[in-house]
Amino acid sequence: MKTAIFAIIIMFFSADTCSKQEMNSIESFNYETFTRGSTTMYTVTSENVKVKSSDLNSKEKSKSITAEEWNFLIGSANKIEASKMSQLKAPTNSRVSDEALHAILSIRKNDTIYKTNSFDHGNPPAEVKPLVEAILRLAENVE
């Protein structure tokens, strides 16, 4: 009887630890926009947001983020099934005629990178839209 109770207690703590590890398993978010001749990469980690552009005036800037901002991103990402991100359909195709920049969102989770297919910058698939908007809001304040 004591063994069964002990086993139940161990399973309870193991499940709690696993769920906390899963929440903290996201290492970074990347949002990349590109067209002929220019690329901008937005990288967000638990410590900072970094914006790197490579065009005629290449530059890289970063800014620290708060735990609240990081937790908001994690919450948004947890609503997305990362393993199916590559199957999401872009709502528009303006990027194929250079009317919009190409964009790709990727999430690094447990040393695996999950990516969307290319979509129009400013018009992501509905499933990732809140996360993309949150990343871009953080990047607005990088100077």
Taken in order of first residue, the domains within the chain and their CATH numbers are: 26-140 (3.30.1560.10)
Q: Band of the pLDDT at 14, cuts 50, 70, 90? A: very low
CB 49 within 8 A of CB 65: yes
For the chain, the farthest-separated pair of C-alpha atoms sits apart, in whole angstroms, at: 72
Least confidently predicted of 66-75, 103-112, 134-143: 134-143
pLDDT tens-digit series, residues 50-94: 999 987 778 899 999 999 999 999 999 999 999 999 999 999 999
The full DSSP string for 30-68 is EEEEEETTEEEEEEE-SSEEEEEEESTT-EEEEEE--HH
Distance CA 59, CA 55 (A): 9
Which H/E stretch holds residue 105?
Answer: strand 102-109
